[in-house]
Structure 1
């Protein structure tokens, strides 16, 4: 009996307690605030339509998707808005045309699913929206197509707005985007991570042959598969660590160093990146040649902060620009520990399009810096020695 029950459990990855708390708290706040706002709107409109409902039950299912699995294609903004709207219109239309409630319910669900898949806005709670339009009783039927605008679209917009705010504040990018976005060099060459193992075309062909809806973004699936490949290489690699090959005599600058001085340091020392450290020698950012090219304006050979970048800094809540390193540095910066394996560094370089990695101790203090050139030389040396280490 116990073995049978175990087989019934879905084979899903158990997430951390923090993530479970984040998701459940988000759903709690989302439904609570949506209900309060909806109740206020319904109260104001009671003189116009006393049957106007405030909050409908399918929003609970939408909350599960928007807050617990915000990376799912089923939880994206177009999915909830398009899916719920299409389902509501379908349900109301079918209920007006078909008298038998069970036949109407079946037709509403079938047609709604077909339309949602065609319009790429599949959202499971929308099936409950279609059923509500058919089986909701006289109070829902009396609303007619008003049901589409309120409560369906009104509830959906409120819950979506809260999901946008909550997910991004708590560290979940929403609307979801694939985390691995290779740097676009505007050439025909694929990114380094895409030059090993399977190709993107291979994956597309397999998905085409599979011919079934997957509750995972296509780019996320490719990212997971490529990370799996890279980690399999790490498992087969040796034990060479970052501290064995990193540069230790590192030139760094302070956040308040002027852009002019930082640029002079980079040119005079032929450096392409400078770690940025505070008074406690903690790494707080990095400034690269790309930062100098993209962010400041150049007037008579001097870097200055232009109007557009000032607006960008204001929008990010940064302090007023004063022509210093902190105005254009990349922060927070990706770092790695001295005892991390070299294969870990290679994965970070490949996945995130980095060229330099500051190496920091447990206290975030600068210990060294690792470049792609360091990795290349170490790899060549290992291959020459034939010692099996990467």
Structure 2
């Protein structure tokens, strides 16, 4: 009896694996995808008809293109939905189908062979696109109309449909806030020309850890490697946030911020940096909105101080005011400041500053309020001190 009950439990557990997982998209995202598919397929069909008026017998929309639309508008971040995947995947699959049916004739066996060859070609050309399998089947089993097109089928209508749908997806996804194409993020691991991992990676998992796990996994993922890494990093940061509590930029920022304006002379700005022993001056307008930032590095670059010969003389020459109407060198802060400036809201959690002040190499981040007016400044030292205090508090509680 016990064995029978255990078997039923195992059967129930196995059946639960068929239960669909919840989709993480909210109603707004689902509506965005549906509207995109509606408009994309409609416009693709209409433009195809307008372009191919002389091909009256050619289908204006192919069924597999509907599957392509699901990927392009429903999961535009997927590696299977990128421009080369849809155009290359559909066209090379159609080509495999046409070659097979021309050599072997239409049959179920030919359709199966064409689909297998299409997948092999898509793997080889790095344009894996699931609707490509249906495109190969269509080329073989699409009936007399499709068979009559022969190799022309690859360009018309497959190529035309795929390119038009991809172009509309390119416009629609970006207009509605979805980055497309979803290209791989640049690798900043060698930013300083060394083999060291990025600062943000040194205490958590590293990129090479993810690469090794993916290599052992040995399956195609419907999510890009960079998105997967980003999700892991965000999860790690969320855990840090929960651990350190709700510490915002407003809690750790310096509030008495020394600033400069666009017209502040270089001599005045340099004096402020030396007098207050600081390394950066936010540049603000009359409404105290940040328009730039001037640092010691900006002075060094404009005085050519990376060449140490006549160091003092070059600096004095840069700072010295020109009494003439015209000058061949910068005279005011606005001419040497760095812009645009990365700012942070006062209510931003300090954990969100970690990648900015480590991986991106920033040393100072101006803090602004809801009206984007400057209210403070956070430095690397402020962040280190805050994280250290949070660690001590965590240790005391333990």
The answer to whether TM tops 0.5 is yes
Deviation at 1:94, TM superposition (A): 1.0
Query: 1:57, 1:297 → 2: CA distance?
Result: 64
1:273 deviation in Å?
4.5
Pick one of 207, 228, 232 that aligns with 1:225: 232
For residue 329 of structure 1, report the CA deviation from its aligned partner: 1.9
After superposing the two structures, state which structure 1 stretch, 241-250 or 178-187, moved more: 178-187
Take 1:219 and 1:63, find their aligned partners in 2: how far apart are those partners? 23
- Measured against aligned partners, the alpha-carbon deviations of 1:217-247 in whole angstroms (never above 9, x if no partner) come to 1122122122222322222224544223211
- Cα 1:243–1:337 shift into 2, 3 Å: closer
Q: TM-score, normalised by structure 1?
A: 0.78
CA contact (8 A) 2:82 2:181 kept: yes
CA deviations 1:162-202 (Å, max 9, x no partner) are 22222223222211135686472322222112212223222
Query: Matched residues in 1 for 2:93 and 2:300: separation?
Result: 46
SS in 2 for 1:269: helix
User: Within the alignment, does 1:20 sit opposite 2:30 as a pair?
Assistant: yes
Contact kept in structure 2, 1:296 and 1:328, CA below 8 Å: no
| Post-superposition offset of 1:132 | 1.2
Q: Please name the residue that 1:69 is paired with.
A: 75
Contact 2:302 2:336 in 1 (8 A): no
Most deviating of 129-138 and 91-100: 91-100
Q: Residue deviations 1:26-84, cap 9 Å, x none?
A: 222222222221010111xx1xx442332222221111111221111001111112111
Aligned-partner SS, 1:358: strand
Q: What is the aligned counterpart of 1:124 among 130, 134, 156?
A: 130
Aligned-partner Cα distance in 2 for 1:75–1:81: 10
Q: How many residues get paired? A: 357
CA distance change for structure 1 residues 87 and 63 in 2, over 3 Å: closer, same or farther? same
The residue number in structure 1 matching 2:257 is: 250
Aligned to 2:65: 59
Given candidates 87, 90, 96, the residue that maps to 2:93 is 87
Once the two structures are overlaid, the 10-residue window that deviates more, 85-94 or 205-214, is 205-214
- Once residues 282 and 144 of structure 2 are traced to their aligned partners in structure 1, the CA distance between those partners, rounded to angstroms, is 67
Deviations 1:122-142 (A, max 9, x none): 101111111111111111111
Tell which structure's C-alpha radius of gyration is larger.
Answer: 2
SS in 2 for 1:142: helix
Instruction: Spell out the pairing of 1:1-390 with structure 2 (5 A cutoff).
Output: 8-43=18-53, 46=54, 49-178=55-184, 182=188, 184-252=191-259, 257=262, 261=265, 265=269, 268-269=272-273, 272-275=279-282, 277=284, 279-283=286-290, 285-287=291-293, 289=295, 329-330=339-340, 333-338=342-347, 340-346=348-354, 348-350=356-358, 353-380=361-388, 388=396
Seen in structure 2, the aligned counterparts of structure 1 residues 119 and 179 have a Cα distance that, compared at 3 Å, is closer
| 1:145 shift after superposition | 0.5
Cα RMSD over matched residues?
3.7
Residue ranges of structure 1 left out of the alignment (5+ in a row)? 303-322
